Amino acid sequence: MIFVQTIALFAALLSAAGVVWAAAKAKHPMRRALGSAVCGAASLGAVNLMAGYTGVSIALNYATAFVAVVLGAPGVILLLLLRVLLLF
């Protein structure tokens, strides 16, 4: 179990470093990073609000919140695809 947690922590740190690197290249890095985080959190909320209509929801925990805030809307889309693929 420790090995899996180590791999997950390494992937999370690598993702965060990639986001920081991409945001640093922008003209206003803090505004861009904050905008991406807000879009990710809003899209995660929208997916869970639409769960009654679509039947697909994403559990809110530390991992999904991290993916939504760090990776933004593309991260939420990735979580949705994983959820749909693992449902069947």
Number of domains the chain is built from? 1
pLDDT of residue 31: 86
pLDDT of residue 44: 92
User: 74: domain range?
Assistant: 2-87
Quote the pTM value: 0.70
Comparing 75 with 12, the larger pLDDT belongs to 75
What pLDDT digit, counting tens, does each position of 17-67 carry? 887 787 788 788 788 888 888 999 999 999 999 989 988 888 899 989 988
pLDDT of residue 88: 55
pLDDT of residue 12: 79
Sign, Cα dihedral of 28, 79, 61, 10: negative
Judge contact between 73 and 43, C-beta under 8 A.
Answer: yes
Whole-Å CA distances, 49 to 4, 9, 14, 41? 31, 29, 30, 12
